[in-house]
Amino acid sequence: MAKPETKPKSAAAKAPATVPVLLPLALPAPYDYLVPKGMTVEPGQFVVVPLGTVEYLGAVWTRPEDAETPKIPRKKLREIIEAVDEVPPLPPVSLAFADWVANYTLSSPGMVLRMMMSARRAFEPPAPRYGVRLAGPAPDRLTPARTRVLEVAANGMIWAKSALGEAAGVSTGVIDGLVDAGTLQAEPLPEWHAMDLDLDKTRAKLTKEQANAARDLLDNTSGGFSVTLLDGVTGSGKTEIYFEAIAVAISRGKQALVLMPEIALTSQFITRCEERFGARPAEWHSELSPSVRGRVWRAVAENKAKLVVGARSALFLPFPDLGLIVVDEEHDQSYKQEERVAYQARDMAVVRGSLGGCPVVLSSATPSIESLVNAEQGRYRHIRLGTRYLAAGLPAIAAIDMRADPPERGKWLSPVLVEAVGETLARGEQALLFLNRRGYAPVTVCRNCGFKFECPNCSAWLVEHRFRRRLECHHCGKFVPIPEECPNCGAEHSLVPCGPGIERIAEEVAELFPDARRVLLSSDLTPGISDLRETLREIEDREVDLIIGTQLVAKGHHFPGLALVGVVDADLGLAQADPRAAERTFQLLNQVTGRAGRETISGRGLIQTYMPEHPVIAALVSGDRDTFLAREIEERRKSIMPPFGRLAALLVTGSSREAVETYARSLARAAPPAAKIHVLGPAEAPLSVIRGRHRYRLLIKASREADLQAYLRLWLDAVPKPKGDVRLSVDIDPYSFL
């Protein structure tokens, strides 16, 4: 029988409400706080709360539906100090995403929130900024520099001083002079330039293959969540195609995000966006100044930034209305973050898409095995493009068998490669030599006593950097000047470099081709992003003949004049004990040789190797990607490696080897038995010491059906926490095994 509903005594209306507040700290969960009278807060709202004697900025969180109300007596709870109203609350999808990522990676949700809040200045009142605009007559004294500024400013737009200086190629002093002369006038800059994207500004006329691909892609991306693997050879026009999907998303009023593995790549992309859409996208990466970071963060949160291009961390921006995520070069290793919250941005992009009901596009010329298997099994849609847009065909790849055509003693380039470079340069075309190793030589040895220079803090050799005249550790950054005599036996002039680094190749090339305009590109030699962008532009404009570079040049760039790519040591990556070594080498070498012949010039790739019969080299030479990948996939299936099985790595580190080993062993002993989960190790890590900390690893292998996270939680909650300076870190889906 139905009883008349009795109104519950509204105790909650009298007593102040409590809400969970998540702080950007390594805490296991949100803490509860009282909402003071007169304050209203909603989930996602930023608030200032006390913790101990300190005030923190945190976010009001949601309680899981099955969670019990807190048991802490109300008297013990503290009040929220302030609700931050100037910044929009985190959208609900950001809260769900943070919880999901924390849960999956076994990290503290607060540390994920910290990534989401990594723009301090967004929470401070924005300082007014001044720009300049053309206002008065030209000054009496007109230098060429001043003329250039006037030309650029002629459009009457308001310019940030630095942007105007950059566009006109002058120092800001020239601009200040024009302000003093009354020609330019200072005005407050708008906080965020409204992005007036013109979605039809310059649409490429797509080829038939491209148009079909674009139609399929738009079919896939027009609804809610879906994942599409856009799989097309280098230069096939993948970017043009996903531009169409971006245009559609933005035309619906939504935001679009493009992730790129390398911030150096974003500059060409931004130029292309400007050509395509008539406006610059917002940029997000680690090299932005704090104030730009703050502005971009706010513009995203306020739904003013419609198109964002960024590094992996851009995934954690507070998009309220994201309508498309593109992960460019989706196979790239740098999408994996190893430190703090260890996450794979490509995988988390798919999660973000699914939580936000938003389509995801994964683009690559050499997709990851993970994505290919997902496509094969029907979880992802698969669009393929087999032909290059501009060039007649893909570069012709050949292996140079270093056993048959060895270099001269003490040299690293085979006569076959040297001849090919010579021919290329003689035709007025560009050549690129690629070696994925920074510095001059990886090891330095004393000829007299055999002493090798080792890092005092790491189990690694010191690498000679000849330009900087020092020996450097690539793991901890320690460096020493190159000594005159052997520190061990005192012999003079006895130290010899062993093996090549990119600087040594540059030296060899300088002797061989002294007249060629050469440029050496290596992350340690290009100090800032703007220098790097300038160098890339010079290459693009054919102001350079010969490029010698590390993987900085391997990815994504479009160099129209590049005809020949020589790979100095193709075997480098294959020697590593890593389940993905073959896949990764194939991807890298396909990428770098794919830089050649992208337009009218026909391209060539030459690969120096001591094992030309290796399946990776054979696949590169034959261009038969599918057979190679099918074999790799079969291997993974048989050995139950990802994506057919799941991995987690536990890393124990500490200053005492005994303490680390003891703890790692006790961990292994405490592992709960489980049918479909195997615990391997502990074993000393291949890189056994970094920064004076000893390292032991355990590897957990699970079948796909097993709940790896639940297993790890059960296990790790039951073992005592490590003591002293011993640390345990968890890496779900590890990509590094060193």
Per-residue DSSP letters for 266-318?
A: HHHHHHHHHHHHSSPPEEESTTS-HHHHHHHHHHHHTT---EEEE-GGGGGS-
Which one of Zn ion, ligand ADP, none is in contact with 473 (Cβ closer than 5 to 8 A by kind)? Zn ion
473 touches Zn ion (CB under 5 A):
yes
**Span of 82-90, 228-236, 466-474, 535-543 interacting with Zn ion by CB under 5 A:** 466-474
- The correct pick among 99, 231, 240, 262 for binding ligand ADP (CB under 6 A) is 240
Query: 585 near 570, Cβ under 8 Å?
Result: yes
Best CA proximity match to 606, nearest among 428, 393, 416, 435 = 416
Tell me the closest approach of the beta carbon of residue 458 to Zn ion, in angstroms. 3
Binding mask 579-618 for ligand ADP (x = CB under 6 A): ----------------------------------------
Look at residues 416, 429, 414 and name the one whose alpha carbon lies nearest to residue 546.
429
User: Closest approach of Cβ 722 to Zn ion, in Å?
Assistant: 23
Q: Which residues pair with 35 in a beta bridge?
A: none
CA distances from 626 to 99, 216, 330, 594, 619 (A): 38, 22, 18, 17, 9
Cβ-based nearer residue to Zn ion, 142 or 738: 738
CB of 480 to ligand ADP, least distance (A): 43
For 301, left (φ over 0), alpha (ψ -120 to 50), or beta?
A: alpha
Nearest to 416 by CA among 434, 402, 396, 426: 402
Of 601, 598, 621, the closest CA to residue 388 belongs to 598
Q: Which of 118, 303, 457, 736 binds Zn ion (CB under 5 A)?
A: 457
Q: What's the sign of the alpha-carbon dihedral 608, 614, 620, 622? A: positive
Shortest Å distance, C-beta 130 to ligand ADP: 37
Count of positions on this chain that bind ligand ADP (CB under 6 A): 16
- Applying CB under 6 A, the span of 234-242, 530-538, 644-652, 683-691 interacting with ligand ADP comes to 234-242
Cβ contact 184:130 at 8 Å: no
Binder among 226, 234, 590, 688 for ligand ADP (CB under 6 A): 234
Q: Which of 94, 105, 210, 220 binds ligand ADP (CB under 6 A)?
A: 210
Residue 455 binding Zn ion, by CB under 5 A: yes
Q: Measured between alpha carbons, how far is residue 459 from residues 454, 479, 664 in Å?
A: 7, 14, 19
Q: Indicate whether 478 belongs to the interface with Zn ion (CB under 5 A).
A: yes
Q: Is 558 in the site for ligand ADP (CB under 6 A)?
A: yes
Where helices occur in 288-395 by DSSP H, the ranges are 290-301, 345-356, 369-376
Q: Mark out the alpha helices in 50-202 (DSSP H runs).
A: 92-105, 109-116, 144-153, 161-168, 172-180
Site for Zn ion in 277-306 (CB under 5 A): none
Binding to ligand ADP (CB under 6 A) within 50-69 occurs at: none
Indicate if the alpha-carbon torsion angle 223, 225, 226, 230 is positive or negative.
positive
The residue within the footprint of ligand ADP, chosen from 25, 163, 181, 390 (CB under 6 A), is 390
Shorter beta-carbon distance to Zn ion: residue 457 or 703: 457
Q: Which does 457 bind (CB under 5 to 8 A by kind): Zn ion, ligand ADP, none?
A: Zn ion
Q: Which two tokens stand for residue 368?
A: 């990851």
Q: Least distance to ligand ADP from the beta carbon of 589, Å?
A: 16
Distances (CA, A) of 142 to 31, 182, 425: 64, 13, 42
478 interacts with, out of ligand ADP, Zn ion, none, CB within 5 to 8 A per kind:
Zn ion
Report how far residue 110's alpha carbon sits from residue 102's, in angstroms, rounded to the nearest whole number. Answer: 8
Q: Is 331 a residue that touches ligand ADP (CB under 6 A)?
A: no
Q: Which is nearer to ligand ADP, 210 or 535 (CB)?
A: 210
Closest distance of CB 232 from ligand ADP, Å = 5
* Contact with ligand ADP (CB under 6 A) among 232, 294, 439, 579: 232
**Residue 340 tokens, joined:** 């703090």
Work out whether 236 is an interface residue with ligand ADP (CB under 6 A): yes
Site for ligand ADP in 190-209 (CB under 6 A): 204-207
Q: Which does 430 bind (CB under 5 to 8 A by kind): Zn ion, ligand ADP, none?
A: none
Residue 492: DSSP 8-state: B
**Contact window for Zn ion (CB under 5 A) among 166-174, 427-435, 450-458, 464-472:** 450-458
Residue 729 interface partner, choices ligand ADP, Zn ion, none, CB cut-off 5-8 Å depending on type = none
Number of H helices, E strands in the chain: 20, 31
- Give, as ranges, the residues between 394 and 453 that touch ligand ADP (CB under 6 A): none
User: Shortest gap between Cβ of 558 and ligand ADP (angstroms)?
Assistant: 5
- What is the closest distance, in whole angstroms, from the C-beta atom of residue 506 to Zn ion in the complex? 25
DSSP state of 441: B
Taking the least distance from each CB to Zn ion, the nearer of 176 and 684 is 684
Q: Which is nearer to ligand ADP, 197 or 326 (CB)?
A: 326
With a CB cutoff of 8 Å and minimum separation 6, the contacts of 298 are 87, 122, 126, 191, 192
The residue from 235, 439, 501, 603 that contacts ligand ADP (CB under 6 A) is: 235
Mask for 516-555, x = binds ligand ADP (CB under 6 A): ----------------------------------------
Q: Which of 201, 340, 411, 475 binds Zn ion (CB under 5 A)?
A: 475
Nearer to Zn ion, 182 or 456 (CB): 456
Please give the structure tokens belonging to residue 655. 């200053």
Return the one option of ligand ADP, Zn ion, none that residue 455 interacts with (CB less than 5 to 8 A, by type): Zn ion
Near Zn ion by CB under 5 A, which window of 220-228, 294-302, 476-484, 587-595? 476-484
Looking at the Cβ atoms of 194 and 738, the one nearer to Zn ion is: 738
Does residue 389 interact with ligand ADP by CB under 6 A?
yes
Q: Using CA atoms, how far apart are residues 300 and 43, in angstroms rounded to an integer? A: 18
Stretch that binds Zn ion, among 179-187, 279-287, 458-466, 488-496 (CB under 5 A): 458-466
Q: State yes or no: residue 411 binds Zn ion (CB under 5 A).
A: no
Sign for the CA dihedral angle at 148, 152, 153, 154 comes to positive
Does 238 engage in binding with ligand ADP (CB under 6 A)?
Answer: yes
Q: Any contact of residue 239 with ligand ADP (CB under 6 A)?
A: yes
User: 446 with 495: CB under 8 angstroms?
Assistant: yes
Cβ at position 657, least distance to Zn ion in Å: 16
Q: How far is the CB of 312 from ligand ADP (least distance, A)?
A: 19
**Torsion on CA atoms 234, 235, 239, 244, rounded to nearest 10:** -120
Beta bridge partner(s), residue 466: none
Report helix, strand or coil for 74: helix
Q: Is residue 470 a contact residue for Zn ion (CB under 5 A)?
A: no
Tokens 């596009």 -> residue = 361
Per the DSSP assignment, residues forming a β-bridge with 699 are: 649, 680
46 sits in the region (left: phi over 0; alpha: psi -120 to 50; else beta) called beta
Q: Which of 312, 318, 372 is nearest to 343 (CA)?
A: 312
Least Å distance, CB 669 to ligand ADP, is 51
Residues that bind ligand ADP (CB under 6 A): 204-207, 210, 232, 234-240, 389-390, 558
Binding site for Zn ion (CB under 5 A): 455, 457-458, 473, 475-476, 478
